[in-house]
Amino acid sequence: MKAVRLHEYEHTPRLDEVPDPVISSPLDVLVRIGGAGVCRTDLHIIEGQWQAKSGVQLPYVQGHENAGWIVETGSAVTGLAPGDPVILHPLVTCGLCAACRRGDDVHCAASAFPGIDADGGFAELLRTNARAVVPLGPTLAPVDVAALADAGLTAYHAAKKAVRALPPGSRAVVIGAGGLGHIGIQVLRALTAAELIVVDRSPDALKLAETLGADHTVVADGGQVERVAELTAGQGAEAVLDFVGEGGALEDGVRMLRRAGDYYVIGYGGTLSVPTIDIISAEINFVGNLVGSYTDLVELMELAARGLVSLHTVTYPLAEFGRALDDLDQGRVRGRAVLVP
């Protein structure tokens, strides 16, 4: 099969011919990829930012946002059959550790993360296990939902936490209305009646945010903190969901937060530096978000099937992975980039 593999950090991956993956365990599932999302994390992987954390052996196949059709299943797999359209939870989990048994499979003690620390979906075929497979309803096509497997799942995971403290009359600030943020806006709109304030540098991104349910949009032109203060009567927001995580967004976002507010870190790349006295005096909370659980993905697919969450995507043939990576790096992708073998 053809697969895009990273051979060396700080170098563009290459399109290789490699052996097809094969079923090797009773719970294995082999999937023909119908769409693989290209994520900013893929750029960070190429830059070497994940080298120490993942410990992956090069060369390997990237791609951690995957959907397609089942080709073959292991002998112990039930309820799934060849031809079924599916989206894949990004983690291959054990189901036996303490975290899995309490439904917190995001923190499985024996997980693999295809596309991060194992071969992923920038290829024609991918092997995963039955615990990662979420069947798709008849209205959902793999190419249209692939990027929801990680970007959408992470946005949902954070928004689901945030809405617990966002009753009607409260306010939430969303920083970044791009690939992750435009999904987060839709999830928040579906789950809470809170007032949504969206901040972004791009006027086009803010126009999109308005169509997705933003109550207010604020251009990040240097006066965004003051504008959010005006919109919140000087109090700040109960929650800030930061889908950027670098380039000054963290510093601005902390200043947009009200006392006893919650700051959800979703985008990354920068460094959070806050005096501890500011944290305790205002009793603010910082919450990290890494993908979401299998149940979160099932719930997100329900929202997608009902038309409450949809992706704005740009598709590329697998062989044009280099253009997809470059477009993403240069900010030319509106929404999410998806490779289609």
Residues of the chain with CATH 3.90.180.10: 2-150+292-340
Q: For every one of its 341 residues, what pLDDT tens digit does the chain have, with 9 covering 90 and above? A: 999 999 999 999 999 999 999 999 999 999 999 999 999 899 999 999 999 888 999 999 999 999 999 999 999 999 999 999 999 999 999 999 999 999 899 999 999 999 999 999 999 999 999 999 999 999 999 999 999 999 899 999 999 999 999 999 999 999 999 888 999 999 999 999 999 999 999 999 999 999 999 999 999 999 999 999 999 999 999 999 999 988 888 999 999 999 999 999 998 888 888 889 999 999 999 999 989 999 999 999 999 999 999 988 899 999 999 999 999 999 888 778 999 99
Tokens for 134? 């979420």
Q: Which segments of 127-285 does DSSP mark as H helices, in order?
A: 142-145, 151-162, 181-191, 203-212, 224-231, 249-255, 276-282
What is the full DSSP assignment across 87-113? Answer: EE-S-B--S-SHHHHTT-GGG-TT-B-
- Which residue do the tokens 């579906």 mark? 190
Residues of the chain with CATH 3.40.50.720: 153-288
Q: Which residues contact 141 (CB under 8 A, 6 or more apart)?
A: 34, 85
The residue type of 36 is A
C-alpha 190/C-alpha 95 separation (Å) is: 30
CA nearest 228: which of 240, 243, 218, 241?
A: 218
C-alpha 181/C-alpha 243 separation (Å) is: 6
Maximum separation of any 2 CA atoms in the chain, in Å: 61
> What backbone phi and psi angles, to 5 degrees, belong to 126?
-140, 135
- Contact present, 332 and 314 (Cβ < 8 Å): no
DSSP letter for 59, please. S
What is the per-residue pLDDT across 262-281, written as a single tens digit (0 to 9) for each?
999 998 888 888 889 999 99
Q: Which residues contact 252 (CB under 8 A, 6 or more apart)?
A: 175, 199, 220, 224, 225
What is the per-residue pLDDT across 175-224, written as a single tens digit (0 to 9) for each?
999 888 999 999 999 999 999 999 999 999 999 999 999 999 999 999 99
DSSP letter for 223, please. -
- Fold of domain 153-288: Rossmann fold (3.40.50)
Please compute, for residue 71, the number of CA atoms within 13 A of its CA located in the half-sphere on the CB side: 16
CATH number for domain 2-150+292-340, candidates 3.40.50.2300, 3.40.640.10, 3.40.50.2000, 3.90.180.10: 3.90.180.10
CA nearest 191: which of 290, 302, 291?
A: 302
Is 308 exposed, middle or buried, given 0-12, 13-18 or 19+ CB atoms closer than 10 A?
middle
- Coil, strand or helix at 331: coil
